[in-house]
Amino acid sequence: MKDHIVGRYRGFVITARVEPRTIRLLDGVIVRYRVTWSLRRRRSTQKVTEDVADPIMYDSENAALTCVDRRARTFIDAMLGEGVEDTTSNLFPS
């Protein structure tokens, strides 16, 4: 597993943990990447504001980090613009 600082946005630090997963198929083996990401305030190094497990398996580590960056920024915008209520359910609809 690798930890990455994906970026900084509107007072938050976006960090991601990328975990490779080996998937066995009939004709071989492929690697997919699972990601969990978290947000913390820039000034508070200890307190995690949000911790999210992304339900999607990605084809590459770069694709995973790009998508995490987009989702985290959308999440932050929603949190700051509309309040914290229902932000997670709106970002990841069932």
List the domains of the chain with CATH numbers: 2-91 (3.30.160)
**pTM reported for the whole predicted model:** 0.74
**Span 48-80, pLDDT tens digits:** 677 888 888 999 999 999 999 999 999 889 888
Of all residues in the chain, the percent with pLDDT exceeding 90 is: 50
Q: Is the pLDDT of residue 84 over 60?
A: no
Burial class (CB in 10 A: 0-12, 13-18, 19+), 34: middle
- What pLDDT score does 33 carry? 94
